[in-house]
Amino acid sequence: MRRRILITGGAGFIGSHLADELLAGGHSVRALDSLLPQVHQERRRPDYLDSDVELIVGDVRDRAVVDRALQGIDVVYHLAAQVGVGQSMYQLCDYTSTNVGGTATLLEALMARPVDRLIVASSMSIYGEGLYRSASGSLVHTADRRLEDLAAGQWDPVDVDALALQPLPTPEAKTPSLKSVYALSKFDQERLCLMIGEAYRIPAVAMRFFNVYGPRQALSNPYTGVLAIFGSRLLNGRAPVIYEDGHQRRDFVSVYDVARALRLAMESPSAPGHALNIGSGVSASVRDIATRMANVLGATDIQPDITGQYRVGDIRHCFADISKARDVLGYIPQVSLEEGLLELAGWLSGQEAFDRVAEANAELAARGLTV
């Protein structure tokens, strides 16, 4: 069945790939995007956005714009958000206004104009630290790290007896632990959509993205995904900057798999009411990712800069248990990390990136957000 679909944030990295996925399925797509300068430097329609996508330039916090964007729409994907853990810790008004206020504006509009389905982009950041197992075998949901330990270079969380904890794949049942303003705002987005969706009978699904990578990431945005940041540094002949010791583990998932999962969330009759992890199901260390990125870009002479510092809001290990998404959506990742990095490298080689990482790191340091 052909559907008329609105994607907020639809001119961005994930939104544009989702648009491609939906257009290939025969649907019509409209995008609402503010073309934020941090992402869209030239403040114009990006060349990569398919010409069949109707673009409305406007702010999701503007009720009149949102009402116009919703006209004739059957399904809404809510991806619009300010993104960046570090930046969120000093741009509180921007992040809460856009992420929480914008979501509230959209939901109030949907109360008056319900749709067949609402899918919201949530984030793995809501978990804080991932799930761990203690030396005694019990599961640990809140493995907080103390600042004094971090200052001493003790990066891995330990139990009450100072014994090492074993990181495990993180399921949706893991208790949230909100470590940044960004994480808090994404949790609010998720809960608002599921809550209002249930109250107003709008079938809603929350998708908890892990570390998404692929072509079209904003290379000049120092708060974008870590792979794009590393790529930007390497393209400029500079070393990727890694905090702590680089052995922290993450789940890197291809944007193509994410777009496919988002489509499945619209199609699956059992998806509404769920919050689902969308990752690769495989973990990798940040240090390993930096090395592999340098290899595929032919920059093997550039070694990562391991700072031994800690950023407020960062976590040690978090990678996805994707069994629920498999069961509910039939989601199975199809792009391996090796394949994804090779494609990303091919795209990066034709891009120009303005490296603003040093500027962003200096901003964090000046505000006492690094240890």
- The average pLDDT across 170-198 equals 96
Lowest mean pLDDT among 106-110, 216-220, 237-241: 216-220
- Give the pLDDT mean for 38-52: 88
Q: How far from 367 is each of 71, 86, 308, 312, 362, CA to CA, in Å?
A: 44, 11, 18, 10, 9
Which residues are marked as active site? 182
| Average pLDDT value over all residues in the chain | 92
Give phi and psi for 303, each to the nearest 5: -90, 145
Q: For residue 56, which phi and psi values (nearest 5 degrees)?
A: -110, 120
For residues 79-93, average pLDDT: 89
Q: What is the pLDDT of residues 106-120, one digit of tens each?
A: 999 999 999 999 999
- pLDDT surpassing 80 at residue 299: yes
Predicted confidence (pLDDT) at residue 97 exceeds the cutoff of 90: yes
Q: Picking from 75-79, 115-119, 159-163, 221-225, which range would have the lowest pLDDT averaged per residue?
A: 221-225
Per-residue b or e along 1-33, where b marks 16 or more CB atoms closer than 10 Å to that residue's CB = eebbbbbbbbbbbbbbbbbbbbeeeebbbbbbb
The pLDDT value recorded for residue 359 is 59
| Nearest alpha-carbon partner for 52 in 22, 13, 74 | 22
Is residue 362 scored above 80 in pLDDT? no
Label the pairing between strands 4-8 and 75-78: parallel
Long-range contacts of 44-51 (CB under 8 A, 24+ apart): 45/11, 46/11, 46/16, 46/216, 48/16, 48/215, 48/216, 49/10, 49/11, 49/16, 49/19, 50/16, 50/19, 50/20, 50/23
How high is the pLDDT of residue 236?
84
Q: What is the mean pLDDT of residues 278-294?
A: 96
What's the mean pLDDT in 228-233? 84
Residue 191 CB contacts under 8 Å (≥ 6 apart), including other chains: none
Q: Is the pLDDT of residue 356 over 60?
A: no
pLDDT band with cut points at 50, 70 and 90 for residue 78: very high
Name the range with the highest mean pLDDT among 37-51, 89-103, 345-359: 89-103
Provide the whole-model pTM: 0.93
* Residue 222 scores a pLDDT above 80: no
Which residue would you say has higher pLDDT here, 238 or 172? 172
Spatial distance between the Cα atoms of 226 and 234, rounded to a whole number of angstroms: 12
User: Does residue 272 carry a pLDDT above 70?
Assistant: yes
> Between 298 and 334, where is the model more confident?
334
In the predicted structure, residue 14 carries a pLDDT above the cut 80 = yes
- Report phi then psi at 233, rounded to 5: -60, -50
What mean pLDDT is predicted for residues 37-45? Answer: 81
| Residue predicted with more confidence, 189 or 232 | 189
49-53, 87-91, 338-342: least confident range: 87-91
- Read off the pLDDT of each residue in 220-241 and give the average, rounded to a whole number: 81
Confidence at residue 221, expressed as pLDDT on a 0 to 100 scale: 67
What is the set of domains in the chain, with CATH numbers?
4-366 (3.40.50.720)
Mean pLDDT for the stretch of residues 10-38: 96
Q: What is the pLDDT of residue 88?
A: 87
Q: Phi and psi (nearest 5°) for 306?
A: -90, 110
Kindly state the average pLDDT of the residues 227-249. 90
pLDDT of residue 22: 98
User: pLDDT class for 260, splitting at 50, 70, 90?
Assistant: very high
Least confident of 172-181, 239-248, 345-354: 345-354
